[in-house]
Amino acid sequence: MASEITYAEVKFKNASPAAVAEAPPEKKNEHHPQKYPLCLPWLISLLLFLVCIALIIVFLVTPFSRGRAHPTALQQKFMEWQCVSRVLPGKVESWTCCPKGWRRFQEKCYYLSNDLMSWAESEQNCTGMGSHLVVINSKAEQDFLFEELRKSSKIGVNYYIGLHAQVVGQWHWLDGTPLSETAAFWRAGEPSNVDHEMCVVIHTKEVSHNNWNDVICKDHNRICQAEAVTV
């Protein structure tokens, strides 16, 4: 007799269903803001400060607009300057500068000496500073020098100007220009026009603005003059 095969379905309790492989969750493309160093604002502030310092040096100290590539003799001799602001119609602001301790009038600078030299030594001294003995071309300039000498704390008696003669009575400025009678400021009774008085000074003891005197070319104070520097 043939045997019978019986099939049965069997269920086991607590059996877990077949594991399902799960793919890992997709990572979201998160955007993180870029972080800057905390010292960045300080670096920017330092940079701006350095730029300001550079501009001050550029506009107020070093570069004189007249011949930066070819500085004047006056610029080469002095490191400290005093400047005043000037604004001309239709132009940008500029500065007119003289060496520290010099006096300024219009576009010129003046040095009043405290020591004594002969006329020739005085001119040599002025030249060595990039200037020359003063040449007075107007009453306004003469009045300015008169007042400056009165205000000077170390005033001398006589100050050489750039007027002299090689022939008695024939007065010429340093550049060879003859003296104009409309811009001559002699003391009363001067010039003496004698052969031993061939140089001219401003005599500070004179109360009048007409205070020139011809003298022997020996030791006196001096007034040097130079063109102001424009920045």
**pLDDT under 70 in the chain at which residues?**
1-38, 52, 54-70, 88, 153
In CATH terms, 113-223 corresponds, of 3.40.50.11610, 3.30.200.20, 3.10.100.10, 3.50.50.60, to: 3.10.100.10
pTM of the model: 0.69
Domain ranges of the chain: 113-223
35-91 per-position pLDDT tens digit: 556 677 777 888 888 876 766 654 444 444 444 446 788 988 899 999 998 776 777
3-state secondary structure the chain: CCCCCCCCCCCCCCCCCCCCCCCCCCCCCCCCCCCCCCCHHHHHHHHHHHHHHHHHHHHHHCCCCCCCCCCCHHHHHCCCEEEEEECCCCCCCEEEEEECCCEEECCEEEEECCCCECHHHHHHHHHHCCCEECCCCCHHHHHHHHHHHHHCCCCCCEEEEEEEEEECCEEEECCCCECCHHHCCECCCCCCCCCCCCEEEEECCCCCCCCEEEECCCCEEEEEEEECEEC
